[in-house]
Amino acid sequence: MAKKNKYYVVWSGKHTGIFDKWKDCESSVKGVECARYKSFETLIEAEQAYKEIPEKFISRTKKKIETLQSSLTANLPIYESISTDAACSGNPGVMEYRGVYTKNGDTLFYYKHNHGTNNIGEFLGLVHGLSYLKRHNLPHPLYTDSKTAIAWVKQKKCKTKLEPNENNKDLFDYIHRAEQWLETNSYTTEILKWDTESWGEIPADFGRK
């Protein structure tokens, strides 16, 4: 009996897509630290899986689980992560947020608006981080030092008391898009509270305190 072909989905690697030969899949993921791939018995299964996030089909590896557990046990931050933070000059005032790679502080995304609040920035930063991680098929956790932002994301609603006006109309459009993203997207990202008392300021901090 001829050996049945398998189909290989590569969500994250040198090349992404669906491959019908292992050697093509292997060349796409070999040497890529965060490569995400899996084999399927039929092309239909592979095509459906490719449309979804990889975490739906791939569980954390034992190594990643042990790394996460050891970091939490040792009361250390998980450096393979993204950290987000916001700052605001005035309330409302010039609001900024950014997301950085926790390990080295490299900026991954940034946004600024002249008529916002700190809580809005913290909320938008978290949603931007979730979207960034999903878009790039990354399994990293997401840090914030804002309990308010965590609560708003869980409720899928930016519960700001700021009133819409001509100066912030585009900001509220942006908030609406963020809320819509939460309503229409699933994610497996772990949102973690940054322990400022133990670790110092979050790496994304703007240094304005």
DSSP 39-82: EESSHHHHHHHHTS-GGGT-PPPHHHHHHHHHHHHTT---SSSE
Higher pLDDT, 100 or 67: 100
pTM for this entry: 0.66
The answer to which of 23-32, 53-62, 128-137, 170-179 has the lowest mean pLDDT is 53-62
In tens, the pLDDT along 119-178 reads: 999 999 999 999 999 999 999 999 999 999 999 999 999 999 999 999 999 999 999 999
d(CA 80, CA 60): 14
Q: Angle at Cα 76 formed by Cα 158 and Cα 54, nearest 5°?
A: 60
